[in-house]
Amino acid sequence: MQTLAIDGSVLEGGGQILRNSISLSALLGKPINISKVRNGRKPPGLKNQHRTGIELAAEIASARLTGATNGSSSVFFSPTRIAAGDYTADPVTAGAATLLLQISLPILLFASSTTPSTLTLKGGTNATMAPQIDYIQHVFLPFATRHFGLKVDVDVRRRGYFPRGGGEVHVTVFPGVDGAKLTAASVLERGAVTRIGGIAHVAGLPAHLGKAMADSAIARLAAAGFAPDAPVPVSVEIASTREKNENTIGAGSGIVLWAELAGGGMIGGSAVGSKQKDAVTVGEEAANELIKGLEAGGCVDEWLEDQIIIFMALAEGTSEVRCGKDGLTLHTKTAIWVAEQLTGASFDITVQDSGHTIIKCHGIGYTAPSEEVK
């Protein structure tokens, strides 16, 4: 089969092109050569977490892989057969475990097996340049389960923070069987905010810092009109947890918030603690991010927006999702570009009179091949 050339410098020019291209290559059996890897980053080329993710995908898809070394700007990936199983990936840094999940999850959803696969993903669970694991648990997966039919369980065994990492996440992926396809998502009506949930977490630090994050987020949300006693009442429940000392390496903190919408949408907001910010500020930052997402008026936030593109492309039928008034992010545009290059799915982007952007995708109705890709 002819190798497809992918320009890694297109649009956002980061790791997302790498992850989405590799996932789709594995599923579709298309050999790819990605050049100018992470050309838009300083320094460019592969870092530990990117290399680890590619190696994980290669193991799952029994792929021939070259160029997977730190600093490499060109990667060749040629898959053969996707195998269900038990896999482990460890970047040996604080590299994000959630980004390892992004590259491997779409592949394992279509493993030819009646039994689930498991992923043991190590590294950072709560970082600034990637979704926190709590966002995956409480925003991405609930949305993807409801609208695309995913069946995935996530168990955080140990949290890992920058710079030491050391976190561990166990993921169980239940594949579709007998040619099952992802369902198309139709999320066009936002509806009211039905509930706001959240979790403020600390490890290796005093428990009162978690409570301070949660309390400041609640106060900020109330000032914006999201509270049980507001004119339009909204339930707000933000838990505060402190990890046991044996369940973390190093110290760190963070908070993830999520708003559930009556129309089936999800909006998230998050912040990660640091020595430069007090706990009150961290809680307010997460609340401000959630409020911004809600005020944009979409059914998904800007991070969920780009993460669902690959599933829209693979699903059967036409998916439609209403996004906010700020226009599509560069990450979303990049994800659409990659999906169109590899899958043949077509996307239509329209802006309503209200200013909201609608993403419509005519998916390919992907099913796993019954025989090994040649």
Q: Which residues, including other chains, have CB under 8 Å from residue 219's CB and lie 6 or more apart?
A: none
Burial pattern 72-109, b for ≥16 Cβ within 10 A else e, equals bbebbbbbebbbbeebebbbebbbbbbbbbbbbbbbbb
* Nearest Cα residue to 295 out of 260, 326, 335, 340: 326
Instruction: Say which residue the tokens 């169109």 belong to.
Output: 340
Task: Give helix then strand counts, H and E, for the chain.
Answer: 10, 17
Pull the structure tokens for residue 226: 């999201």
Pull the structure tokens for residue 149: 């039919």
Q: Of residues 138, 147, 201, 331, which has the active-site annotation? A: 331
Question: How far is Cα 104 from Cα 63, in angstroms, rounded to an integer?
Answer: 13
Instruction: Give yes or no: 201 in active site.
Output: no
* Nearest Cα residue to 320 out of 308, 328, 333, 337: 308
Asked whether residue 49 is marked as a ligand-binding residue, the answer is no
Pull the structure tokens for residue 339: 């999906």
**CA torsion through residues 122, 127, 129, 135, sign:** positive
Q: Which residues are annotated binding-site positions for ATP?
A: 102
Q: Which residues are annotated binding-site positions?
A: 102
Catalytically annotated residues = 331
